[in-house]
Structure 1
Amino acid sequence: MKTINFSEKLNKFKERWSPHQIAVVDDMQVLLVKIKDEFVWHMHEDEDELFQVIKGTLIMRFRDSEQIVKQGELIVVPKGVEHCPTTKNGEEVHILLFEKLTTKHTGNVTAELTKTQYPKI
């Protein structure tokens, strides 16, 4: 057992939209990701996703609304809800994700940004 420092882990990579696994809790994984601009519209049929903003402001778009998630806040996207994480004004946002080990990166779609494995750091 040892502590995990988010800043140290975030300094180990530069890629955006590429989650990095920092821990596993039972059948859940804890990921860090840097994002900028818009991701892809997608959903996860069987898994919820937790997004906690470490730095910046996340805009979580839904088909009928959007939620602004600021630094120090989190949002849970329920399974089966189509969503599109995005940022504004070219801001890089740092996020902690908490999701099942079986969760696919882009859920029900395959896109250029889709990752099949997450690096462990």
Structure 2
Amino acid sequence: DNDNIINEQDNFEEESSTLTRLLVFLPPNMTSHLQLLDAGVIASFKAHYKQIYCRYILDLFEDKTIINCWRKTGILPTVTENDIFDAMQIQQDTLTHEKESTNQIIVDNLNHNNPYANSLVDALNNFFY
């Protein structure tokens, strides 16, 4: 039988073998260069997922609960409405910056000749937002 088989093994040390198949050994750690998901897409996905998960957890608590906990521990001795507004603005600015950074990671790590790069960014943004 003349089946074509690729057996991909990372960091595999060659030993003598009696196989009747031809094995081609790739250089060590080559799989990260061959697999698209290891080329930055997973890192971008994890960043989006972590951001959404943290936002979900924070939304489970009322703002007053978090503020009261901070007051009780002395982390936040006094709070005014302006302090709360400022904190919310900083949080929104941070989330916007993280979103832009993640989108840039995706674009930078994908082939610039790939017409699907922007589509991937749009799809991830639609999924997470």
TM-score, normalising length from structure 2? Answer: 0.20
Q: Which structure is larger by alpha-carbon Rg, 1 or 2?
A: 2
Which structure is richer in relative contact order (CA contacts within 8 A, separation 6 or more)?
A: 1
Q: Which has the higher strand share?
A: 1
Q: Which has the higher helix share?
A: 2
